[in-house]
Amino acid sequence: MKVKTKDGVKEMRAVWMEGDDVVMIDQRDLPNRLNFFTAKNHIDIHRSIKDMMIRGAPSIGVTAAYGMAQAAVKGADMEEAAETIRSARPTAYDLFYAVDHMLTNMGDDPIKAAEKYADSVAAKCRAIGEHGAKLISDGTRILTHCNAGALATLDHGTALAPIRAAHGSGRDIFVFVDETRPRLQGMRLTAWELNNEDIPHAIIADNAAGHYMQRGEVDLVIVGTDRIAANGDIANKIGTYEKAVVANANDIPFYVAAPVTTFDPNTPSGEDIPIEERDPLEVLDIHGVRIYPKGSPARNPAFDVTPNSLITGFITEKGVFSPKELSRMFD
């Protein structure tokens, strides 16, 4: 992805290895500061995922792969390292896929195996962009939710990949960016990425999305996802279900962009996806400033489930599929 720095525009991934260290953009500090975190061991990897220094299912998966390679090179107990990394967050399927992949495919050169995994994720996201861009014509106005860009997916993005590809081909597009309470990943991260790419956009409050859909100012909705169940139900950032319902009510196509590794064939439906509940203070505080009446409790589910009946199609590295065509992705 392009990142504007004081030294000019640089190409950068969300996470990478330097020797046997794992280095990542600390996403908690964006957009105000471009800071980096260096993980020295699998305990640091666990903390970086759990504390959301790195986030987004594919980026979490790549970080896990790097963490497993790091553990192997440093002579750690691999089963203990695997369990520690797996326990960081419960919903993103890529985390578990990457750990299992590395246990099976590490071979004699763990770092090379992890880099191969990372490059495959980036290539899949580029392909998602190429397939998804075919859905975007000149003048298309797109709504997206949370951050499913390069920060969340190592490079290119899932939901943002078609947007990047369409913009790169010269198409005139506009993006509505949901702020995405409570952690504001849309406002802080998606807008930061679009600004770095000079893609026209506007940040909107989460509850303004329906207003713009009803007024005919949104042509297409594209979101990412952290897990796709066998029947095509998805778990994505809290608020995605609402966007799907309103898009459906206004006859607006609703697409989910994700690599095939996000599909979990062992989870029958959305009802079976574990939904992470995070610290209520994420809802009650903004950057440490209390915004609630003392004594009022809060709930903080990180994800919700959107049923397959509300999804127009899945944009993957293998093409675009309707929920009824999901089995074709594994042919």
CA–CA gap between residue 143 and residue 250 (Å, rounded): 13
Q: Can you tell me whether residue 40 is helix, strand or coil? A: coil
Where helices occur in 25-109 by DSSP H, the ranges are: 42-50, 57-73, 78-86, 93-105
For residues 200 and 110, give the distance between their C-alpha atoms in angstroms, rounded to a whole number. 41
What 8-state DSSP symbol labels residue 302? S
Q: Which residues of 127-159 are buried (b: 16+ CB within 10 A; e: fewer)?
A: bbbbbbbebbeeebbbbbbbbbbbbbbbbbbbb
Torsion, CA 47, CA 48, CA 53, CA 57, rounded to 10? -110
Cis peptide before 110 (omega within 30 of 0): no
Rounded Cα distance between 85 and 114, Å, is: 15
Q: Is the CB of residue 212 less than 8 Å from the CB of residue 226?
A: no
Residue 100: active-site member: no
Catalytic hit among 226, 233, 264, 304: 226
How far, in Å, are 123, 154, 260, 306 from residue 118 at the CA level?
9, 8, 14, 28
Q: Of the candidates 230, 300, 310, which has an alpha carbon nearest to the alpha carbon of residue 268?
A: 230
Count of Cβ atoms closer than 10 Å to residue 42 Cβ? 26
> How many whole angstroms separate alpha carbon 184 and alpha carbon 214?
24
Place of tokens 């990943």: 185
Please state the φ and ψ torsions of residue 94, each to the nearest 5 degrees: -60, -30
Catalytic site positions: 226
